[in-house]
Structure 1
Amino acid sequence: MKLIFSLLALTGGLAMGIQAIVNGGLGKRVGAIEASFISFLVGTAALFFLVLFFGKGNLLAISEVPKGQLIGGLLGAFFVLVLVLATPKIGVTATLISVIVGQLLIGSLIDHFGLFGGERFPLDLKKSLALLLMLASIYIFQK
Protein backbone atom coordinates (compact mmCIF):
# COMPACT_ATOMS: atom_id res chain seq x y z
CA MET A 1 0.00 0.00 0.00
CA LYS A 2 2.86 2.41 0.82
CA LEU A 3 4.29 1.79 -2.66
CA ILE A 4 1.03 2.93 -4.26
CA PHE A 5 1.14 6.22 -2.33
CA SER A 6 4.84 6.67 -3.14
CA LEU A 7 4.03 6.21 -6.84
CA LEU A 8 1.14 8.64 -6.48
CA ALA A 9 3.50 11.21 -4.92
CA LEU A 10 6.01 10.57 -7.71
CA THR A 11 3.26 11.23 -10.24
CA GLY A 12 2.41 14.46 -8.41
CA GLY A 13 6.05 15.50 -8.70
CA LEU A 14 6.00 14.78 -12.42
CA ALA A 15 2.85 16.86 -12.76
CA MET A 16 4.52 19.70 -10.84
CA GLY A 17 7.41 19.69 -13.32
CA ILE A 18 5.00 19.97 -16.23
CA GLN A 19 2.97 22.59 -14.37
CA ALA A 20 6.06 24.77 -13.99
CA ILE A 21 6.73 25.09 -17.72
CA VAL A 22 3.07 25.25 -18.74
CA ASN A 23 2.24 27.99 -16.23
CA GLY A 24 5.49 29.81 -17.00
CA GLY A 25 4.54 29.95 -20.68
CA LEU A 26 1.03 31.05 -19.81
CA GLY A 27 2.48 33.81 -17.63
CA LYS A 28 4.53 35.15 -20.54
CA ARG A 29 1.35 35.50 -22.59
CA VAL A 30 -1.20 36.79 -20.09
CA GLY A 31 0.83 38.04 -17.11
CA ALA A 32 2.07 36.31 -13.96
CA ILE A 33 -0.85 37.02 -11.64
CA GLU A 34 -3.35 36.40 -14.42
CA ALA A 35 -1.72 33.06 -15.25
CA SER A 36 -1.87 32.05 -11.60
CA PHE A 37 -5.55 32.97 -11.51
CA ILE A 38 -6.29 31.02 -14.70
CA SER A 39 -4.41 28.01 -13.35
CA PHE A 40 -6.42 28.04 -10.13
CA LEU A 41 -9.67 28.67 -12.00
CA VAL A 42 -9.14 25.63 -14.23
CA GLY A 43 -8.07 23.56 -11.21
CA THR A 44 -11.10 24.73 -9.23
CA ALA A 45 -13.42 23.74 -12.08
CA ALA A 46 -11.81 20.29 -12.28
CA LEU A 47 -12.09 19.81 -8.52
CA PHE A 48 -15.70 21.01 -8.57
CA PHE A 49 -16.63 18.19 -10.92
CA LEU A 50 -14.64 15.65 -8.93
CA VAL A 51 -16.46 16.70 -5.76
CA LEU A 52 -19.80 16.70 -7.57
CA PHE A 53 -19.44 13.19 -9.00
CA PHE A 54 -17.08 11.42 -6.63
CA GLY A 55 -16.99 13.40 -3.39
CA LYS A 56 -17.99 11.59 -0.22
CA GLY A 57 -17.06 14.28 2.32
CA ASN A 58 -19.03 17.17 3.72
CA LEU A 59 -18.25 20.66 2.37
CA LEU A 60 -20.47 22.19 5.04
CA ALA A 61 -18.01 20.99 7.68
CA ILE A 62 -15.77 23.90 6.62
CA SER A 63 -17.38 25.96 9.38
CA GLU A 64 -16.07 23.50 11.97
CA VAL A 65 -12.41 23.26 10.94
CA PRO A 66 -9.69 25.34 12.60
CA LYS A 67 -9.33 28.48 10.49
CA GLY A 68 -5.57 27.91 10.11
CA GLN A 69 -6.33 24.85 8.00
CA LEU A 70 -7.86 27.11 5.35
CA ILE A 71 -4.50 28.71 4.52
CA GLY A 72 -3.66 25.87 2.11
CA GLY A 73 -5.39 27.65 -0.76
CA LEU A 74 -3.34 30.80 -0.16
CA LEU A 75 -0.13 28.78 0.00
CA GLY A 76 -1.09 26.99 -3.21
CA ALA A 77 -1.78 30.30 -4.97
CA PHE A 78 1.57 31.66 -3.78
CA PHE A 79 3.31 28.50 -5.02
CA VAL A 80 1.74 28.74 -8.48
CA LEU A 81 2.66 32.43 -8.72
CA VAL A 82 6.27 31.61 -7.76
CA LEU A 83 6.39 28.93 -10.50
CA VAL A 84 5.00 31.37 -13.05
CA LEU A 85 7.59 34.01 -12.11
CA ALA A 86 10.66 31.80 -11.60
CA THR A 87 10.42 29.18 -14.37
CA PRO A 88 10.85 31.55 -17.36
CA LYS A 89 13.80 33.25 -15.61
CA ILE A 90 15.81 30.29 -14.29
CA GLY A 91 14.30 27.25 -16.07
CA VAL A 92 12.29 24.27 -14.92
CA THR A 93 15.17 22.34 -13.34
CA ALA A 94 16.53 25.22 -11.27
CA THR A 95 13.01 26.16 -10.18
CA LEU A 96 12.22 22.60 -9.12
CA ILE A 97 15.54 22.12 -7.33
CA SER A 98 14.79 25.25 -5.33
CA VAL A 99 11.20 24.15 -4.67
CA ILE A 100 12.30 20.70 -3.54
CA VAL A 101 14.99 22.06 -1.23
CA GLY A 102 12.45 24.51 0.22
CA GLN A 103 10.02 21.66 0.79
CA LEU A 104 12.69 19.56 2.48
CA LEU A 105 13.80 22.45 4.69
CA ILE A 106 10.30 23.20 5.96
CA GLY A 107 9.50 19.49 6.17
CA SER A 108 12.56 18.96 8.36
CA LEU A 109 11.51 21.77 10.69
CA ILE A 110 7.93 20.48 10.85
CA ASP A 111 9.20 16.98 11.63
CA HIS A 112 11.81 18.13 14.15
CA PHE A 113 9.40 20.22 16.20
CA GLY A 114 6.25 18.18 15.52
CA LEU A 115 4.55 21.30 14.18
CA PHE A 116 0.89 21.35 13.13
CA GLY A 117 0.19 18.26 15.23
CA GLY A 118 2.67 16.05 13.38
CA GLU A 119 4.79 13.32 14.92
CA ARG A 120 8.34 14.37 15.89
CA PHE A 121 11.27 13.12 13.82
CA PRO A 122 14.36 14.86 15.23
CA LEU A 123 16.80 16.65 12.93
CA ASP A 124 20.27 15.20 13.55
CA LEU A 125 23.71 16.12 12.24
CA LYS A 126 23.47 13.88 9.16
CA LYS A 127 20.12 15.33 8.12
CA SER A 128 21.38 18.87 8.73
CA LEU A 129 24.46 18.22 6.59
CA ALA A 130 22.27 16.78 3.81
CA LEU A 131 20.11 19.92 3.88
CA LEU A 132 23.19 22.16 3.71
CA LEU A 133 24.46 20.18 0.72
CA MET A 134 21.08 20.59 -0.98
CA LEU A 135 21.21 24.33 -0.39
CA ALA A 136 24.70 24.35 -1.90
CA SER A 137 23.34 22.42 -4.90
CA ILE A 138 21.10 25.37 -5.79
CA TYR A 139 24.17 27.62 -5.95
CA ILE A 140 26.28 25.07 -7.85
CA PHE A 141 23.51 24.38 -10.35
CA GLN A 142 23.24 28.07 -11.21
CA LYS A 143 27.02 28.43 -11.85
Structure 2
Amino acid sequence: MLETLLVVGIGLAGGIAVGAQAPIAGSMGNRIGGAAGSLIVHLSGAAASLALLIIRGGENISDWRSLPWYMLGSGVFGLVLYLSLSQTIPKLGATSAITLIVVGQLMAGMVIDHFGLFEVSARSVDLRRILATALLLAGAYLMLR
Protein backbone atom coordinates (compact mmCIF):
# COMPACT_ATOMS: atom_id res chain seq x y z
CA MET A 1 0.00 0.00 0.00
CA LEU A 2 2.79 2.43 0.90
CA GLU A 3 4.60 1.63 -2.34
CA THR A 4 1.42 2.35 -4.33
CA LEU A 5 0.98 5.70 -2.56
CA LEU A 6 4.60 6.56 -3.30
CA VAL A 7 4.17 5.71 -7.00
CA VAL A 8 0.94 7.77 -7.16
CA GLY A 9 2.77 10.66 -5.49
CA ILE A 10 5.59 10.41 -8.02
CA GLY A 11 3.03 10.44 -10.85
CA LEU A 12 1.33 13.51 -9.40
CA ALA A 13 4.71 15.23 -9.01
CA GLY A 14 5.35 14.58 -12.71
CA GLY A 15 1.98 16.08 -13.56
CA ILE A 16 2.69 19.11 -11.41
CA ALA A 17 6.07 19.49 -13.14
CA VAL A 18 4.42 19.42 -16.58
CA GLY A 19 1.73 21.80 -15.35
CA ALA A 20 4.33 24.28 -14.13
CA GLN A 21 6.74 23.83 -17.02
CA ALA A 22 4.09 24.19 -19.73
CA PRO A 23 3.25 27.87 -19.20
CA ILE A 24 6.95 28.69 -18.71
CA ALA A 25 7.79 26.96 -21.99
CA GLY A 26 4.84 28.62 -23.73
CA SER A 27 5.92 32.07 -22.58
CA MET A 28 9.54 31.39 -23.46
CA GLY A 29 8.55 30.14 -26.91
CA ASN A 30 6.42 33.21 -27.42
CA ARG A 31 9.39 35.46 -26.55
CA ILE A 32 12.28 33.68 -28.32
CA GLY A 33 10.62 31.04 -30.55
CA GLY A 34 9.55 27.46 -29.98
CA ALA A 35 12.72 25.76 -31.17
CA ALA A 36 14.93 28.17 -29.21
CA GLY A 37 12.85 27.60 -26.08
CA SER A 38 13.02 23.86 -26.58
CA LEU A 39 16.81 24.03 -26.86
CA ILE A 40 17.08 25.94 -23.57
CA VAL A 41 14.73 23.52 -21.81
CA HIS A 42 16.57 20.48 -23.13
CA LEU A 43 20.04 21.87 -22.33
CA SER A 44 19.02 22.64 -18.76
CA GLY A 45 17.38 19.21 -18.52
CA ALA A 46 20.52 17.57 -19.88
CA ALA A 47 22.65 19.37 -17.30
CA ALA A 48 20.31 18.29 -14.49
CA SER A 49 20.25 14.73 -15.82
CA LEU A 50 24.06 14.65 -16.00
CA ALA A 51 24.33 15.81 -12.39
CA LEU A 52 21.83 13.15 -11.26
CA LEU A 53 23.63 10.51 -13.32
CA ILE A 54 26.92 11.39 -11.64
CA ILE A 55 25.29 11.24 -8.20
CA ARG A 56 23.84 7.82 -9.06
CA GLY A 57 27.21 6.44 -10.15
CA GLY A 58 26.48 6.36 -13.88
CA GLU A 59 23.63 3.83 -13.64
CA ASN A 60 23.86 1.72 -16.84
CA ILE A 61 24.78 4.50 -19.27
CA SER A 62 27.47 2.34 -20.88
CA ASP A 63 24.69 0.12 -22.30
CA TRP A 64 23.21 2.94 -24.39
CA ARG A 65 24.35 1.30 -27.65
CA SER A 66 21.95 -1.60 -27.05
CA LEU A 67 18.89 0.67 -27.06
CA PRO A 68 16.48 0.49 -30.03
CA TRP A 69 16.52 3.41 -32.47
CA TYR A 70 13.16 4.77 -31.27
CA MET A 71 14.51 5.17 -27.73
CA LEU A 72 17.53 7.11 -28.99
CA GLY A 73 15.28 9.47 -30.94
CA SER A 74 12.62 10.01 -28.27
CA GLY A 75 13.87 13.53 -27.54
CA VAL A 76 12.09 14.58 -30.74
CA PHE A 77 8.82 14.26 -28.80
CA GLY A 78 10.06 16.95 -26.41
CA LEU A 79 10.57 19.27 -29.35
CA VAL A 80 7.03 18.56 -30.58
CA LEU A 81 5.71 19.25 -27.08
CA TYR A 82 7.49 22.59 -26.78
CA LEU A 83 6.55 23.72 -30.26
CA SER A 84 2.92 22.88 -29.51
CA LEU A 85 3.08 24.74 -26.18
CA SER A 86 4.54 27.82 -27.84
CA GLN A 87 1.51 27.87 -30.15
CA THR A 88 -1.33 26.79 -27.87
CA ILE A 89 -0.62 28.58 -24.58
CA PRO A 90 -0.57 32.14 -25.98
CA LYS A 91 -3.80 31.48 -27.89
CA LEU A 92 -5.74 29.20 -25.53
CA GLY A 93 -4.17 29.72 -22.09
CA ALA A 94 -2.35 27.23 -19.87
CA THR A 95 -5.41 25.26 -18.74
CA SER A 96 -6.69 24.55 -22.24
CA ALA A 97 -3.22 23.79 -23.59
CA ILE A 98 -2.47 21.36 -20.76
CA THR A 99 -5.92 19.78 -21.20
CA LEU A 100 -5.11 19.09 -24.84
CA ILE A 101 -1.77 17.60 -23.82
CA VAL A 102 -3.46 15.34 -21.27
CA VAL A 103 -6.04 14.19 -23.83
CA GLY A 104 -3.24 13.47 -26.32
CA GLN A 105 -1.34 11.53 -23.65
CA LEU A 106 -4.48 9.57 -22.84
CA MET A 107 -5.02 8.62 -26.48
CA ALA A 108 -1.39 7.62 -26.95
CA GLY A 109 -1.35 5.70 -23.66
CA MET A 110 -4.43 3.69 -24.56
CA VAL A 111 -2.96 2.66 -27.92
CA ILE A 112 0.42 1.85 -26.37
CA ASP A 113 -1.22 -0.19 -23.59
CA HIS A 114 -3.63 -2.01 -25.90
CA PHE A 115 -0.93 -3.16 -28.30
CA GLY A 116 1.89 -3.47 -25.76
CA LEU A 117 4.13 -1.11 -27.72
CA PHE A 118 7.60 0.03 -26.59
CA GLU A 119 8.10 -2.89 -24.19
CA VAL A 120 4.99 -1.96 -22.14
CA SER A 121 2.84 -4.80 -20.82
CA ALA A 122 -0.33 -5.04 -22.88
CA ARG A 123 -3.55 -3.94 -21.20
CA SER A 124 -6.57 -4.43 -23.40
CA VAL A 125 -9.08 -1.66 -23.82
CA ASP A 126 -12.23 -2.82 -22.03
CA LEU A 127 -15.58 -1.21 -21.24
CA ARG A 128 -14.35 0.22 -17.94
CA ARG A 129 -11.40 1.93 -19.60
CA ILE A 130 -13.62 3.22 -22.40
CA LEU A 131 -16.02 4.71 -19.82
CA ALA A 132 -13.11 6.26 -17.91
CA THR A 133 -11.81 7.76 -21.15
CA ALA A 134 -15.24 9.12 -22.00
CA LEU A 135 -15.43 10.82 -18.60
CA LEU A 136 -11.97 12.33 -19.04
CA LEU A 137 -12.85 13.52 -22.54
CA ALA A 138 -16.08 15.05 -21.22
CA GLY A 139 -14.04 16.88 -18.60
CA ALA A 140 -11.60 18.05 -21.26
CA TYR A 141 -14.50 19.33 -23.36
CA LEU A 142 -15.84 21.29 -20.39
CA MET A 143 -12.36 22.74 -19.72
CA LEU A 144 -12.00 23.89 -23.33
CA ARG A 145 -15.42 25.57 -23.51
The TM-score bracket by the shorter chain reads: 0.7 to 0.9
Moved more, 52-61 or 110-119: 52-61
Structure 2 unaligned residues grouped into runs of 5+: none
The answer to whether structure 1 residue 112 and structure 2 residue 106 are counterparts is no
Select 1:41's aligned residue among 31, 40, 43.
43
- How many angstroms does 1:20 deviate by? 0.8
Contact in 2 for aligned 1:108/1:123 (Cα 8 Å): yes
* Structure-2 separation of matches of 1:115 and 1:31: 33
CA distance in 2, matches of 1:60, 1:75: 23
Task: Report deviation, 1:136.
Answer: 4.6
Contact 1:101–1:131 (CA under 8 A) maintained in structure 2: no
Instruction: Name which of structure 1's ranges 63-72 and 92-101 shifts more when overlaid on structure 2.
Output: 63-72
Deviations 1:73-113 (A, max 9, x none): 11122222222221121111111111111111111111112
Residue 90 (structure 2) pairs with residue 88 (structure 1): yes
Between 1:78-87 and 1:92-101, the stretch displaced more is 78-87
Normalising by structure 2, report the TM-score.
0.85
User: Structure 1 regions of 5+ residues with no counterpart?
Assistant: none
Q: Aligned runs of 1:57-68 on 2, under 5 Å?
A: 57-68=59-70
Number of the residue aligned with 2:76: 74
Q: Which structure 1 residue ranges, 4+ long, deviate > 6 Å from structure 2?
A: none
Within 2, Cα distance between the matches of 1:3 and 1:130?
21
Q: Which AA in structure 2 matches 1:67?
A: W
Name the CA distance, whole Å, in 1 between partners of 2:95 and 2:70.
32
Q: Within 1, Cα distance between the matches of 2:58 and 2:7?
A: 20
Partner AA of 2:97 in structure 1:
T
User: What do you get for the CA RMSD once the two structures are aligned?
Assistant: 1.9
